Amino acid sequence: MSGPAMTRVEIIRGMLVVQESGKAGINSAIEATAVTVENHSTENRDELVSQLENTWRTICSGLRRDLGAQIFGQWIKPIRLSRFDSSNGELQLILPSEFAANWVRERYADRLTLVWKNHYPDVKTITFAAKAGTARIAQVKQTNNSAREDITDAPSGKFRLDLDPRMTFDEFIAGNSNVLALNAAQRMASPEKPLFSPLYLQSSTGQGKTHLMHAIGHAYRSEFPDARIIYMSAERFMIEFVSAMRRNEAMEFKAALREADLLMIDDIQFIVGKNSTQEEFLHTVDSLISRGKRVVVAADRPPQALDGVDQRLLSRLSMGLVADIQSAGLELRRDILQHRIASMPHQDVPEDVIEFLARTISRNLRELEGGLNKLLAYAQLTGRPITRELAEEQLSDILSACRRRITIDEIQRTVCEYYRLDRNEMSSKRRARAVARPRQVAMYLAKVMTPRSYPEIGRKFGGRDHSTVIHAVKLVEQLRGEDTEMDNDVRMLLRQLES
C-alpha cells in the first residue's frame, strides 16, 4: 500500500475508529501496550505492569460482554495503557486520536473509572489523551455521569458537582413531545418555590431526560451559587451507599444526601430489587420533601411500571409531577439537527441530507446526534462533501437499525390510493401527466424511505432504467421547493407511510 493510501486508512481508523473485521479478540485490546510506572520501586515494577495489563484484559472482557462487540470494537478496543503514577493513583489511557479521546471521555469515563477502581483499587483517577500527545488531557475523577469527584475520595461526605456544560436549557430544543417536561424542569430550577416535588421525568432512552437534569443543575446553581446540588445515577447511588456501609461511613453518606438543596437521581429503574438502597432513598426523599427541598428523578417507565420497588417509594415518586417525554416527532428531529449544525461553524449540510437523517433516524435523539457527528467527522477528515449518498454509506449500521421496513409495494399502493389511480399504472408505459407525476412521486418515496438502489427501484416500476428513477427523484425534489401543492402531497404521503 502506498504512503498516502496508508495515511488515509490510518486517519479513518484512528479518528473515526471504523469497525474492524471479526477478529476482535480481547487479547489484542492490550497489544503494543507499554505501561510506564512512575514513583514506584524498581524491583517490583515489572510485576505491577503485568498486574495492570492483566486487569485491563479482564476489564475488556467484561466491557465487550456488556457493551456488545460493535461498540467495544469501535471505542474500547483501541485504548492503550500509557502511564500509571503509583503516588497518586493516576492512570493514563491513550486513544488513537483527539476525536476518539473526547468521545470516550464524554461517554465512558465514569464507567471506565468505576470498573478500574473495582478491579484495581490502587487506580484513583483516569486521564485520557490522544496518541500524538498534544491532545487536551482531562483528569476524570470518579462520580456519576461525567468528570466529577467521587464520594469515596471525600470522607467528609461532601459531593462536588460538575455538570456537562453543553446540557443547558438554551441547548434543549423544545417541541410538542417535550414541552411539559421542559416547563416543569425550568420551574424546578427557578427561585420560586416549586409547585411539585419530586419531579419525575419519564421517557424512553435518548429523548432528553439527562439533558434536562443537567440543565436544572446549571440553572439552579446560577440562581443559588452556594446551593448544595447532588446529581448521580441510581446505579451510582447504590454503589456509593454500599461502599459507605463497608467503610463504616454510612452516617456521613446519609447526612450528605439529606443536606442537599437539590437532589437529582437518574435511571431510577435500576434501583429495583435493592431493599436496603430503596429504604435509604425513601428516607432521603422524605427528609428533603418535608423541608421543602427539590427532588428530581428520571426513569424509562412510569412509577407504576417499576417492578420490584417498595410501594411506599412508588407513592413518593408519584406524589409530585410525572412529566412524560414522548418520542421526538419529525419536526423536532429536524429542528435539533439544524440547531446542532448552526452551532458548528464552517459546516455545510445540504437540506436533503438533514431531511434524510431526520426521517430515518427516529428511534432516539442520541442516535440522531451521534449519526450527525459521525457524518461531519468523516467528511472533515477525508475531504469528501456531505451528500445523501455519503450519509447512506457511513451510517448504514444506524440506518438499518432505525428504518421501519417500508416496502416499495406499500409505497405504490399508498400513492395510488392518494391519487386515485389503478395500481397497474405504476408499471405501465403511459406518460400522461396524471399518471407520470404520481409514478415519479412513488419513485422518490421509494428512494427516500427504503434502502433500495436506483436499479432495484426501476425494476419495481415496470423494469425502468435507473436513469429514469434518478430523473424522477431529482424532479420531485425540485418541485417540492417550487410547488407548495406538490410539497404538501409528499408530506402527506410521508406521514401516511410512517404512521
Higher pLDDT, 7 or 393: 393
Looking at this protein, which amino acid is placed at residue 263? L
Cell 450519509 identifies what position?
Answer: 391
What is the SS3 assignment for 345?
coil
**Residue 127 in 3-state DSSP?**
strand
Q: State how far the alpha carbon of 401 is from the alpha carbons of 58, 281, 375, 397, in Å.
A: 30, 37, 17, 6
* Cell output for 226: 452556594
Lowest mean pLDDT among 241-255, 380-394, 422-436: 241-255
Residue among 392, 379, 333 nearest 173 (CA): 333
pLDDT band at 474 (very low <50, low <70, confident <90, very high): very high
Of 19, 139, 100, 117, the residue nearest 59 (C-alpha): 117
Mean pLDDT of the chain: 79
Of 164-173, 268-277, 462-471, which gets the smallest average pLDDT?
Answer: 268-277
State the Cα–Cα distance between residues 297 and 263, nearest whole angstrom.
8
- What string of DSSP letters covers 346-368? T----HHHHHHHHHH--S-HHHH
Residue 299, C-beta contacts closer than 8 angstroms, at least 6 positions apart: 200, 201, 202, 267, 268, 269, 306
Provide mean pLDDT across the span 12-33.
39
How far apart are the C-alpha atoms of 127 and 138, rounded to whole Å?
Answer: 6
CA pair distance 130, 445, nearest whole angstrom: 43
- Please say whether the beta carbons of 142 and 125 come within 8 A: yes
Structure-model confidence comparison of residues 266 and 236, the more confident one: 266
Query: Residue type for 324, please?
Result: D
3-class state of residue 149 by DSSP = coil
Structure letter (DSSP) for residue 326: P
- On the question of pLDDT at 450 being above 60, the answer is yes
**CB neighbourhood size of 183 (10 A):** 12
Bridge partners of 94, per DSSP, are 80, 129
Q: Report the 10 Å Cβ neighbour count for 462.
A: 14
The burial of 208, by beta-carbon neighbours within 10 Å (0-12 exposed, 13-18 middle, 19 or more buried), is given as buried
DSSP 45-87: HHHHHHHHHHHHHHHHHHHHHHH-HHHIIIIITT-EEEEEETT
pLDDT exceeds cutoff 80 at 189: yes
Residues 336-350, mean pLDDT to the nearest whole number: 84
Q: pLDDT digit string (tens) for 70-107?
A: 678 778 888 988 888 888 888 999 987 776 787 788 78
Dist CA 254 CA 248 (whole Å): 12
Within 13 Å of residue 256, how many CA atoms lie on the same side as its CB? 22
The DSSP result for 441-480, as a single string, is HHHHHHHHHS---HHHHHHHTTS--HHHHHHHHHHHHHHH
CB 192 within 8 A of CB 291: no
% of the chain residues with pLDDT over 70: 82
Q: Which domains does the chain have, with CATH numbers?
A: 3-142 (3.30.300.180), 179-324 (3.40.50.300), 330-402 (1.10.8.60), 408-498 (1.10.1750.10)
Number of neighbouring beta carbons within 10 Å of residue 8:
14
pLDDT at 39: 57
Which one, of 395, 370, 366, lies nearest residue 205 by Cα?
Answer: 366
Count of residues in the chain: 499
Q: With a cut of 60, say whether residue 165 has pLDDT above it.
A: yes
Q: Give the DSSP per-residue string, 240-288.
A: HHHHHHHTT-HHHHHHHHHT-SEEEEE-GGGGTT-HHHHHHHHHHHHHH
- Per the CB < 8 A criterion, the answer to whether 126 and 91 are in contact is yes
pLDDT at residue 152, as a whole number? 31
Phi, then psi, of 432 in degrees rounded to 5:
-60, 140
* Mean predicted confidence (pLDDT) in 121-145: 55
* The C-alpha cell that represents 117 in the structure block: 477502581
What is the C-alpha to C-alpha distance for residues 216 and 175, in angstroms, rounded to an integer? 18
Sign of CA dihedral 408, 410, 416, 419: negative
Closest CA relative to residue 246, chosen from 118, 124, 56: 118
Q: Cell triple for residue 33? A: 501496550
- Residue 201 predicted with pLDDT over 70: yes
Handedness of CA 324, 330, 331, 334 (dihedral sign): positive
With H, G, I as helix, E, B as strand and everything else as coil, classify residue 192: coil
At 287-333, the pLDDT tens digits run: 898 888 999 999 988 888 776 777 888 888 888 899 999 888 889 99
What's the mean pLDDT in 266-287?
A: 81
